[in-house]
Amino acid sequence: MKIFLTYILVGFLWLLHWLPLPVLRAIGTLLGKLLYAVGRDRRKVALINLRLCFPEKSEAEREDIARRHFIAFSCAVIDRTLGWWASKERLERIVRIKGVEHLNDPEGKPIILLSPHFVGLDAGATRISMYVPGCSVYSNQKNPVFNKLLYDGRIRFTDAVLLSRQDGMRKIIKAMKDGYKFYYLPDMDFGPKESIFVPFFGVQAATIPGVSRLVRLTGAKIVACITRQVADGYEVEVMPAWSDFPGESVEADTASVNRFIESQVLTMPEQYFWLHKRFKTRPPGEQRFYK
């Protein structure tokens, strides 16, 4: 029965992708407002994160960012139907990209596409996949129907390599050496096992130092990819490769990555993924923020 209901839901999502973008955004806006109203637990997480990162703002200002985030996030979820089923020509109109010349290194070095958790993450990945083959870390879903939908969506336009977190760094390095661009999401709390603590908006945050370690192992170039959700679609900016990375230590590099993410968050705070418990793992002896 559960699988049958999933197929019905997928069929409904498939129908959505035929709608004009303004209609999809209207649906996303209504969904976002509803989720903000009824999603007490996730609303609380978002407000805790915003309180920690923006203590200088008033509670009303933080609540406004949270409301707008729920809407932006819900619009991105609805827009994802376009990435799964819309034509390439339609996606090229809706998801614009600049800086594609930075997707390849002139010297042939591996590329790490650094993409923090903004709501346009998937739209950007889909658009970039039209230019270069990529590899990324993929989390298998318990529902096999959704798992196949998400998997197929990631390989629509290129022969992507999708690895599980359990595959480890060795397979990522091999894929990078084989010419795949590593689409790397560096800013989630995966617990204390492989993390180090570096500041994120002045709060110690458990952060995987994978960016620094991969660059030191492979000689890869860091190319930041930031996707902004706008009224008529998305804008993907592929930035020039970082020239001052790696630095003096893994810790300094990881802190530098967090500072870069902070700078981007400040340009569109409502589009950063505040629903994640970014500060769940605490240094020994520190209080927990989430109940």
DSSP 87-121: -HHHHHHHEEEE-GGGGS-TT---EEEE---BTTH
DSSP state of 206: E
Residue 223 Cα to chain centre, angstroms: 15
Q: Higher model confidence: residue 12 or residue 1? A: 12
Rounded Cα–Cα distance for residues 215 and 172 (Å): 12
Give the integer Cα–Cα distance in Å for 213 and 64: 38
* Whole-angstrom distance, CA of residue 73 vs CA of residue 14: 19
Higher pLDDT, 275 or 160: 275
Q: Assess if residue 278 is contained within a domain.
A: no
Q: How many CA atoms lie within 13 A of 129 on its CB side?
A: 25
Count of domains for the chain: 1
Q: How far apart are CA 65 and CA 46, in angstroms?
A: 9
Model confidence band, residue 282 (pLDDT cutoffs 50, 70, 90): very high
**pTM for the whole structure:** 0.94
Residue 289 falls within a domain, yes or no?
no
Main-chain dihedrals φ then ψ at residue 135, nearest 5 degrees: -130, 150
Q: Which domain holds residue 168?
A: 2-271
Q: Is the pLDDT of residue 166 over 80?
A: no
Q: Is pLDDT of 155 > 90?
A: no
Asked, for residue 281, whether it belongs to a domain, the answer is no
Half-sphere exposure of 203 (CA within 13 A, CB side): 23
pLDDT surpasses 90 at 57: yes
Helix or strand or coil: residue 37? helix
Q: How high is the pLDDT of residue 137?
A: 85
Of residues 142 and 279, the one with the higher pLDDT is: 279
% of the chain surpassing 70 pLDDT: 99
Predicted confidence (pLDDT) at residue 4 exceeds the cutoff of 90:
no
**Taking 90 as the threshold, does the pLDDT of residue 141 lie above it?**
no
Is residue 135 included in any domain, yes or no? Answer: yes
51 within a domain of the structure (yes/no): yes
pLDDT recorded at residue 158: 85
pLDDT over 80 at 79, yes or no: yes
Is 167's pLDDT higher than 80?
no
Residue 36 confidence (pLDDT): 98
Q: What is the pLDDT of residue 138?
A: 80
| Cα 5 to Cα 10, 69, 215, 237, distances in angstroms | 9, 29, 44, 38
pLDDT at 266: 98
Residue 67's pLDDT band (cuts 50, 70, 90) = very high
Average pLDDT rounded to a whole number, residues 49-75: 98
pLDDT at 76 over 80: yes
User: Within 10 A of 218 (CB to CB), how many other CB atoms are there?
Assistant: 18
* In the predicted structure, residue 219 carries a pLDDT above the cut 80: yes
Q: Residue 160 has what pLDDT?
A: 85
Mean pLDDT of 174-180: 92
Asked if residue 282 belongs to a domain, the reply is no
Q: Give the mean pLDDT of 143-160.
A: 85
- Tell me, yes or no, whether 73 lies in a domain: yes
Chain mean pLDDT for the chain: 94
Asked whether residue 93 is domain-assigned, the answer is yes
Using left for φ > 0, alpha for ψ between -120 and 50, and beta otherwise, residue 202 falls in left
Q: What is the mean pLDDT of residues 157-180?
A: 85
Task: Using CA atoms of 172, 174, 177, 179 in order, give the dihedral in degrees to the nearest 10.
Answer: -70
78-87, 119-128, 155-164, 219-228, range with the lowest pLDDT? 155-164
